[in-house]
Amino acid sequence: MAGAASAEKLDLGKVKCGDWLKMSKDNIAMTLVWLDGYYQDEDADPVIDFDQFGKNAEKLASACALRASYV
């Protein structure tokens, strides 16, 4: 994870799936929340749909785990 993340910084442009999956649960959760907000439409209401958020998190974790197994 050198260069991608440290205790206080995470470069989302450099972090690899395997590194992300090894992060603490708190850091994974914060990353997921940030990504969820980042990918919302600019005009979207500031609402977190926890059901959809959970589904998106599961899809990302599954895709990342699959990708990490190939790297």
Span 18-58, pLDDT tens digits: 888 889 999 888 898 888 888 888 898 988 889 988 998 99
Q: In which residue are the tokens 């850091």 written?
A: 27
| pLDDT higher than threshold 60 for residue 2 | no
**What is the count of structural domains for the chain?**
1
Asked if residue 3 is part of any domain, the answer here is no
User: Residues 9-23: what's their mean pLDDT?
Assistant: 87
How many other CB atoms are found less than 10 A from the CB of residue 44?
Answer: 9
Task: State both tokens at 24.
Answer: 């603490």
Residue range of the domain that includes 59? 17-40+47-70
Band of pLDDT at residue 1, cut at 50, 70 and 90: very low
In a domain, 8, yes or no: no
Burial class (CB in 10 A: 0-12, 13-18, 19+), 20: buried
- Euclidean distance between CA atoms 39 and 70, whole angstroms: 26
From 2, 4, 70, 49, select the one nearest 31 (Cα to Cα).
Answer: 4
